[in-house]
Structure 1
């Protein structure tokens, strides 16, 4: 039996003022799968995630979550329906504590018991945050800040997580720690659409990979297959 689609994009065209940034993108994130989009900087990866979460307007095409259209909905409604966006960079409230930042992810949830359960899950999956729960976000290391961002996404309770360049600006050892967290999230059954610049980081983790250039997918397939395509890597990712 085929895997059930959680998130589907069909012929998506989107952008800011002027010409579109995304030009007819289609992809499927099956339930429980991790799909990765790689490509050069400035070619539409972040815009793709922002379009799904409603931060960039959808001009043409269709985006569905569990078969229900997200097109034209406000970002808060899209989040409430189950899309949890972990943006590029930290995007934390620096003068709020770790726990307060995490709770901001559950702003749309009114059930205190649900919020408490989600917070417990975050602290189990990210025990370092439990140690830092009273600490101001401004005092955290880069890796800890990134973990708070992921934890805040978990607090949203989404059906699908959109994670934008989780390794950006981090040291290699910290990147390994972040990807261990992402692997754990996938193992728990979460559906994930991940944006990354380096495809080597998702070997053994991604179920499928899409190479994005100038707003179009120029290649799609398995991560191992992309890593064997030296010409593609050299042309689009610098080797």
Structure 2
């Protein structure tokens, strides 16, 4: 079995005085794509925010290749190797595609490394090279999602956290986004992906975790979940 790139044990976190996650434990093997699914508002995005240091770890532990992340500031977590591609992308609308990509490399001072990463991103996402000088505000939803992923790749990093990449997109655009994610996995990237629809990751994810009310209620291969009608109906509405 591959080494756990990311190991989470007994994670408790939330907002103000309310706990949202009440004891999450999961491992993300090196080179794997693992997906977390579940109803809206039950802690999926909270999990990614906790890993990336945007929320405090109240109890439990988060380790990246054995290194403790809990307690680090977000920029320290990023420097350690966690890349967070947030829900909705959060691009800089009045910056060009090229400028948005460069913002992903803000922790890197070596210009040769930045150029190499940019070449790799534009090779993986050739449409971004075509839109290089275009303002982010003028892009389609699918193109914005690609820039968000590309900006994340510009950070380098060891583990990518991708939050609901299909949110708000037309079906044909969702297919294009998942083609990119499949290429990321094929290139050896380690990915923790949040998604609402388990069918979208059935042939892509190595494992899937079903999260409900701040706890993981089921874990296993994606196709096993799709065969469990009672689970799908209870937690995901069918």
Structure 1 SS opposite 2:145: helix
Partner of 1:92: 91
8 A contact 1:16–1:57 mirrored in 2? no
SS in 1 for 2:15: coil
Match in the other structure for 1:59 = 58
Distance in 1, matches of 2:87 and 2:172, equals: 19
Aligned-partner Cα distance in 1 for 2:168–2:66: 36
1:126 is displaced (CA, Å) by 0.2
Instruction: Establish whether residue 212 from structure 1 lines up as the match of residue 211 from structure 2.
Output: yes
Corresponding residue of 1:172 = 171
Determine helix, strand or coil for the equivalent of 1:57: coil
Distance 1:152 1:30 in 2: 23
Unaligned runs of 5+ in 1: none
CA contact (8 A) 1:97 1:134 kept: yes
CA shift, 1:19, in A, is 2.0
Aligned to 1:158: 157
Which residue number in structure 1 is paired with residue 194 of structure 2? 195
Which 4+ residue blocks in structure 1 deviate beyond 6 angstroms?
Answer: none
- Counterparts in 2 of 1:36-185, with a 5 A limit? 36-185=35-184
Instruction: Provide the C-alpha distance between the structure 2 equivalents of 1:19 and 1:172, rounded to a whole number of angstroms.
Output: 36
- CA shift, 1:10, in A, is 0.4
Q: CA deviation at 1:18?
A: 1.7
The count of aligned residue pairs is 238
How far apart are residue 90 of structure 1 and its match? 2.2
SS in structure 1 of the partner of residue 123 of structure 2: helix
Question: Residue 22 of structure 1 contacts residue 44 of structure 1 at CA under 8 Å; is this kept in 2?
Answer: yes
Is the 1:97–1:137 contact (alpha carbons within 8 Å) kept by the matching residues of 2? yes
More deviation in 206-215 or 11-20? 11-20
- Distance in 2, matches of 1:192 and 1:84, equals 9
User: 1:13: Cα distance to partner?
Assistant: 0.4
Q: CA RMSD in A?
A: 0.5
Structure 2 CA distance for aligned equivalents of residues 113 and 88 of structure 1: 30
Structure 1 Cα separation of the partners of residues 92 and 202 of structure 2: 33
Partner Cα separation in structure 2 for residue 89 and residue 43 of structure 1: 18
Secondary structure of 1:73's aligned partner: coil
> How many angstroms apart in 2 are the aligned matches of 1:154 and 1:182?
12
Structure 1 residue 146: deviation in Å?
0.2
| TM-score with structure 2 setting the length | 0.99
Scaled by the length of structure 1, the TM-score of the pair is 0.99
CA distance in 2, matches of 1:9, 1:73: 15
Measure how far apart 1:158 and its partner are: 1.0
Match of 2:20 in 1: 21
